[in-house]
Structure 1
């Protein structure tokens, strides 16, 4: 029989809210005890509450990558049949069990109430160093996982409430920063203790069965809402790809290939076309693949839905073992989070947003790819007190956000996988580490051009305030425009890393400089990727371009060359006649025709097109009532395809010149293809692809789809 308390909707809502509050109290406990700027300033961590089977019920708004991996650790314990009791705290960091890479130390605790398992609490955070052949446990030289630091499978660190000092000492002995790691581990224990106490209090007040029932209902409700949302999106297949330009050692181009199949209320992501696992540290394990998918699905489709396992239940992931995103031992995975995992999120985000664009209800939410990489900067050495210091700089989170269909991307807003990104103040970084910033500022021309501009990234110039230190620098995206645009929008700017020694010339470091010494006389500079743009840059309001120039977000050169906007001599107003002529000239150049022969294109509107759906700003798909099949035309009426949404068959193909910030040094195996309306020269899409492969059709809508 259901108790009155269990069936009371007010009580059930109170419990829901309390569970979310407990997750936030876990966050507060972690940040209060931890001494690591990665946790306290940059929020590179995860806290959450789980069902007995390892499904997450609540999560914070820090790093969406990290919810599934802690669940993997829990499921590993359950599969092993580990005997658990109240007060146990289990620690792990093995990427082939549940972590993203060894630096992501995770802990979980069984939540026991009256001797029975109510659920689990989980916590996970990036540790600056966990051992290995190079500082920060990031080693471009690594060829196998054993070279990358200590791997902890799943070990009881606290047994029935008693800390196992010997296990803790063993873990800390592997790290070059034992004090920092030790404090964080104690912060993990405090975080789990808070969760255990609060969950016990909640259960004793409302009843364990009632609390567990609400936890299950939260996940079930999220699943129902997610499936209902998916039914509002069109059925079809979307293909996206992204690239990594090296494996830490060799300049080999690796591909993350995603084929998204959407049917009814389910999604299937197939990564089978991705490259085989690499010899270097850019791989991710299967846990990382799951994290990368979740990192894009949750924030892209989870708006207005409680963030828990229910959002992921309609999602299937398919990929054989041995790929760059499903690496198996002994593959190195030390930089997985910012290489393969991050790139998985890029392709998933790109695929989902193409579906959103094709949905009349959600087209306004369509977004280009945000901040397609995180360029890592690790620093180590001895401080002014001759003590070993170590830093994993989180400033690279300040990449640009992708443009939306109805507004520009936010500047320095970070990646899609970190919904509430934050970085330390310059003063905080300088106080806690021997750093000196020459500047930290927004970087002009890094936002992907488009009708809606991608957010610009930040950039920094820094040096050290000790006689000598060792920097370890690595990235992708210096030769690959990972922040891809959508619907004719151009990619965000590439990563640029530069080094200037005392009295020497500036050197372009490229994507993989690795380790090098740095002194107070040297200057390291880096500019990160901006967000992708949306729509043809020639459709952007000239007044908006003028404002961008005034605010230093776009240079006058790019305003003219990419946006076709001519400013008056005083730079305070737009020369409308000259702008109209410049834009006509750019459109004519795309087609290779005389500008005088081109008609003026129709203006772009954000309003839905009656009886049709938009595949992009200027691409309209109309379904034939008799055959049920799709035809695609441009906004200006040019028919591009009949019987399918493969509109590239009728578009004009040309070789675009990307802006200097976006395409200065493409990887030699890559090329860029542009697609334009053959009648007006308006830009429909930009494809980045291998030069020995043809661009592929990115979206095939199925004929059975009907608008709601």
Structure 2
């Protein structure tokens, strides 16, 4: 038996020459991918085959060394888990495999089971190998263990504390059996656990071969140098950005818990992020967020920190190596007991895609505002990449008379956010699962008694802008060869768009669940009549609440799921008419949106240039007529450097004063002061003015900031009707605060 103590940080050995470094670094990626693919080939779970998993290699102290491109949040919770194992156990041995799924310790929710194996070479702990996958069922009150109406964690399924599932190569059969006995789908879960062990075994063998060839110390040093290089690169990048604070607030909407008859149908949970950038350090502060409550969507600290790590990897990992170095300069600050740091016994199964995703949205807004001050890095700015996961989980008896529980991963196919230089990707997939996809339709229909009517992109679902957000899908299902199925449908982003645009871009569509009951779609299909629209199916067509647990869908009835989609970038009236025409001909936008939001008028398959010029001028005039004029210009603040802020503002020095200009027309807005919005016109948009596919909670409004001179759209946000409680940015110059 080999045991170890951590006596030095990863990579403390002498430096490795560049050629050897690159050979080993790429080999580590190959080893990680081989372990990942082994796991997926052994698993028969549709969740795994739709990439709701990850696989990683960690340094001896638990830092991420090699990160897969699948479900990203748990790759960081894996690092948290390893550190927990190291702190709890002083007899870690070769051949051990540890397990945990406790979300209050190191998981998003109970379904995400993590296996971590220490890797030894010549008796020394060199690394860890970790893998996880969403388990189709681990007990709880609802099939599939997403329990959106749970009132405490004890209703949500089995929690597994940190422990060993394998001890020195021997399976802990008692623990294995306890977990399997609590699942409605014991074969699938047991097979997944076997797949985990297979992937860990293959990767461990390949790591042994690598260490035999180059030496364990060298492999360990490569991991440490790679992490250090990413940290160094990120710190250098941060030094090029202005110091200051950057704020963004988003909301988790969920069914009303108040018994007050006058309360809105949905209640709002506020998630506020205040990003402080100082030198080469970032602090994400969520202390302004709402307190936890026993209702759908609360997130644990592990899920929230993992969400911030996901954003850091995806954003800054485009230029730097993906590893823990991208989190070393980061602090996440949040006191216990918030909606993003829920404590027991608060239910958290829905938090895996609830408050932690909204926290990621808020952090993304902060980072976009920060990097947009840099000409070199403003290309990294985008609106929130992921809005809400629309859970579609069904259970009952399948067409073979067997119990089934399945989570549909089609909800990953949302449209991406727009950037300064390009449109968002249509059905581009999720930032949280960069390498992800969705299940094959036929694979689903073979194993589950649900027939697809359609899986298709929805016109106008991406936010309008100079560059538009990507359109996403909707998918419709009909039970067949069974009497009925039960469904758990849960999300947020139905009462507001979480995926707002930036620099004048409009928000993308909200989420929606719909159902048509009292109809036999199967009979229509047997008669040769295709159903292409819900409103043409007959029956009773209803919009479902954002959270529905135990919904009964009878054979022949229809449930339809429509996704949130990416926001736009820049003023829609600045989009080239030729691009709007192409979108129109491709079915990406409707004629009404082309005319009323983009201001483009067409005649047949061509642009009516005269009418388009007149239409755009009329829309700008409408903005001027609707806007609330700028308020009293705030007092001048401290000096800031000349430059621009995205597509909205230009900062200049003139006659010894610091002034703000419109980046569109160069009109002077006023002196630099406490809040740039006070220098602009304000319009409260009706929802349909921003998108035909959004809704806005009665406590919120879509607020547009426009240039008083040229009426350009500078920023569009969803804000409280009774006033904002944050500022977009407050910069610092020469050690003193310089207001925004």
Q: Does 1:403 align with 2:418?
A: yes
> Which one of the candidate residues 514, 517, 522 is aligned to 2:552?
517
1:500 maps to 2:516: yes
Aligned partners of 2:475 and 2:117: how far apart in 1? 40
Once the two structures are TM-superposed, the CA of residue 248 in structure 1 deviates from its matched residue by 7.8
Structure-1 residue corresponding to 2:498: 482
Contact 1:5 1:11 in 2 (8 A): no
- Normalised by the size of structure 1, how large is the TM-score? 0.93
| Distance (Å, rounded) in 1 between the aligned partners of 2:448 and 2:81 | 33
- SS of corresponding position for 1:673: strand
Given the alignment of the two structures, is residue 418 of structure 1 paired with residue 418 of structure 2, yes or no? no
Please identify, of 555-564 and 668-677, the stretch whose mean Cα deviation from structure 2 is larger: 668-677
CA drift of 1:621 comes to 2.4
Cα deviation code 1:240-289 (max 9, x no counterpart): 01111116856321011000111121111000111101211311111111
**Which residue of 648, 651, 654 maps to 1:621?**
651
8 Å Cα contact 1:687/1:695 also seen in 2: no
- Find the aligned partners of 1:258 and 1:6 in 2 and give their Cα distance: 39
Alignment of 1:165-204 (within 5 A): 165-204=173-212
Task: Please give the alpha-carbon distance, in whole angstroms, between the structure 1 residues aligned to 2:72 and 2:400.
Answer: 38
Residue 321 of structure 2 is matched in structure 1 by 306
Q: Within 2, Cα distance between the matches of 1:158 and 1:31?
A: 20
Measured against aligned partners, the alpha-carbon deviations of 1:332-351 in whole angstroms (never above 9, x if no partner) come to 10011211121111111121
Residue 18 of structure 1, aligned match among 8, 12, 27 = 27
8 Å Cα contact 2:255-2:546 kept in structure 1? no
Secondary structure of the 2:144 match is: helix
Secondary structure at the residue paired with 1:253?
A: strand
Query: Secondary structure at the residue paired with 1:395?
Result: helix
Aligned ranges 1:228-307 → 2 under 5 Å: 228-246=236-254, 251-307=266-322
Shift, 1:37, TM fit: 1.4
- Distance in 2 (alpha carbons) for counterparts of 1:623 and 1:432: 67
What is the Cα deviation at residue 9 of structure 1? 2.9
The answer on whether the counterparts of 2:16 and 2:221 sit within 8 Å (CA) in structure 1 is: no
Q: Secondary structure at the match of 1:419?
A: coil
In 2, Cα distance between the equivalents of 1:375 and 1:32? 27
1:555 to 2:590 alignment: yes
Matched, 1:37 2:66: no
Q: Which residue of 1 aligns with 2:684?
A: 655
Cα displacement (A) at 1:5: 11
Structure-2 change in CA distance of 1:371 and 1:216 (3 Å): closer
Q: Are residue 577 (structure 1) and residue 610 (structure 2) matched?
A: yes
Normalized against structure 2, the TM-score is what? 0.89
2:142/2:549 contact within 8 Å kept: no
What is the aligned partner in structure 2 of residue 607 from structure 1? none
Q: Secondary structure at the match of 2:106?
A: coil
Task: Return the alpha-carbon distance in structure 1 between the equivalents of residues 329 and 511 of structure 2.
Answer: 35
Structure 1 residue 584, shift from structure 2 partner: 1.2
Q: What SS does the corresponding residue of 1:323 show, helix, strand or coil? A: coil
Offset at residue 612 of structure 1 (A): 4.2
Which range moved further: 348-357 or 124-133?
348-357
Instruction: Find out whether 1:329 has 2:362 as its counterpart.
Output: no
Matched, 1:343 2:358: yes
Q: 3-state DSSP class of the match of 1:50?
A: strand
Aligned residues between the structures: 685
Q: CA 1:696–1:630 in 2, change beyond 3 Å: closer, same or farther?
A: farther
Compared CA separation, residues 422 and 664, structure 1 to 2 (3 A): closer
Residue of structure 1 aligned with 2:467, choices 415, 432, 452 = 452
Alignment pair present for 1:635 and 2:644: no
Q: After the TM superposition, which residues 74-153 of structure 1 pair with which residues of structure 2 at under 5 Å, given as runs?
A: 74-153=82-161
- Relative to structure 2, which stretch is displaced further, 63-72 or 613-622? 613-622
| Deviation per residue, 1:395-439 (Å, 9 max, x gap) | 000111000100100001123222222112222221232220111
- Unaligned runs of at least 5 residues, structure 1: 595-610
| Cα shift at 1:15 | 1.2
8 Å CA contact 1:558, 1:659 repeated in 2:
no
Moved more, 18-27 or 8-17: 8-17
Q: Contact 1:296–1:346 (CA<8 Å) still a contact in 2?
A: no
Distance 1:630 1:266, change over 3 A: farther
Partner Cα distance (1:625, 1:475) in 2: 53
Aligned 8 A contact 1:481 1:663 in 2: no
Distance, in Å, in 2 between the alignment partners of 1:151 and 1:409 is 39
> 1:492 Cα deviation (Å)?
0.3
Give the secondary-structure state (helix, strand or coil) at the position aligned to 1:149. Answer: coil
Q: What per-residue deviation string (whole Å, max 9, x for no partner) do you get for residues 638-685 of structure 1?
A: 223413473211101111233375564312221121111111211111
1:673 aligns with 2:703: yes
Query: Relative to structure 1, is the Cα distance of residues 458 and 140 closer, same or farther in structure 2, using a 3 angstrom cutoff?
Result: same
Report the more deviating stretch, 524-533 or 248-257. Answer: 248-257
**Secondary structure in structure 1 of the residue aligned to 2:687:** coil
CA distance in 1: counterparts of 2:599 and 2:18, whole angstroms: 58
Contact 2:52 2:134 in 1 (8 A): yes
Partner of 1:599: none
2:385 touches 2:431 (CA, 8 Å); kept in 1?
yes
> For residues 125-181 of structure 1, what are the alpha-carbon distances to aligned partners after superposition, in whole Å with 9 as ceiling and x for unaligned?
111211111111112221111111000011211111111222111000111111111
DSSP 3-state at the match of 1:513: strand
**Greater Cα shift, 662-671 or 360-369:** 662-671
Cα distance in 1 for residues equivalent to 2:144 and 2:234: 39
Q: Is contact 1:623–1:703 with CA below 8 Å preserved after alignment? A: no
Query: Counterpart of 2:724?
Result: 694
Say which SS state the counterpart of residue 591 (structure 1) adopts: helix
Q: Take 2:75 and 2:653, find their aligned partners in 1: how far apart are those partners?
A: 40
Name the CA distance, whole Å, in 1 between partners of 2:148 and 2:626. Answer: 49
- The answer to whether residue 183 in structure 2 is matched with residue 154 in structure 1 is no
CA RMSD in angstroms, aligned pairs only: 2.2
Distance in 2 between residues matched to 1:60 and 1:400, nearest whole Å? 22
Structure 1 Cα separation of the partners of residues 81 and 390 of structure 2: 28
Number of the residue aligned with 2:635 = none
Task: Name 2:576's counterpart in structure 1.
Answer: 541
2:623 paired residue number: 590
Residue number in structure 2 paired with 1:61: 69
Contact residue 30 and residue 191 of structure 1 kept, 8 A: yes
CA contact (8 A) 1:632 1:642 kept: no
**Contact 1:52-1:118 within 8 A present in 2 as well:** yes
Q: 1:124 to 1:281 in 2, by over 3 A?
A: same
Secondary structure in structure 2 of the residue aligned to 1:421:
coil
Q: Secondary structure at the match of 1:666?
A: coil
Cα distance in 2 for residues equivalent to 1:623 and 1:387: 73
Query: CA separation in 2, counterparts of 1:248 and 1:134?
Result: 20
TM-fit CA distance, 1:201: 1.6
Deviations 1:447-505 (A, max 9, x none): 10000000001111111222211111011011110111000000001112110013422
